[in-house]
Amino acid sequence: MPQGEFKGRATEYLNFLAAWVSKPRQTASVVPSSRYLARLMAAGIDPTDGRVLELGGGTGVFTRAILKTGLPPEKLEVVEINPAFARGLRRHFPQVSILETPAQIVSTVAGGEPGDYQAVVSGLPLLAMDRAAHVDILSEAFRMLKPGGSFVQFTYSVRPPVSRDTLAALGLEVERVGQVVRNFPPATVFRFFRPRD
């Protein structure tokens, strides 16, 4: 690994650890996600099929993977409420819109209109949130998604981080996309979607 890349990764880990120490429930992990997990999270993105919204941009691991799909940077918006992470994202991805607003009200500041988004890629710690937060975040996400759009979420559990009752109440279904053992801790990726009539 080149020295510049090593230094960048070391800084990324230290920033993530500092955020976890400051607000462990908001960050939920002591290390950033691996590039293997990021690749799986971004795997379903079609660079020609509309906008993408990322929730919880952190240090930009998923942001990089999303842009590597060929999606134009102006079609990606990243939500990050941690000011230090938001500054880092703006520095590393100057063409991407960084939104410092809660995921529950992102439609109030998003550049696109409801129905413009093909995918919502979430790095939010849903396991650390309650049912009300799940309802608010998923409702807002599916307000932004086009018909057939996906909400992609990872978790450190083998089960989805949202209860079946909550999904049923929102008219959503979930499927397992895959598991990434080359991540610490190992992670499972799920896709939430609204079945077409």
Residue 82's nearest CA partner among 65, 103, 96 is 103
Where does the pLDDT of residue 20 fall: very low under 50, low under 70, confident under 90, or very high at 90 and above?
very low
- In sequence order, the 6+-apart residues with CB closer than 8 A to the CB of 115 are 144, 145, 146, 147
Cα 78 from Cα 90, distance rounded (Å) = 10
Cα 176 from Cα 99, distance rounded (Å) = 28
Q: Which of 12-21, 49-58, 167-176 has the lowest mean pLDDT?
A: 12-21
Q: Exposed, middle or buried by CB within 10 Å (0-12, 13-18, 19+), for 36? A: middle
Question: What structural domains and CATH numbers belong to the chain?
Answer: 33-193 (3.40.50.150)
Percentage of the chain modeled with pLDDT above 70: 84
How far is CA 70 from each of CA 44, 73, 103, rounded to the nearest angstrom?
Answer: 12, 9, 25
Higher pLDDT, 1 or 85: 85
23-56, pLDDT tens digit by residue? 544 444 446 789 999 999 999 999 999 999 999 9
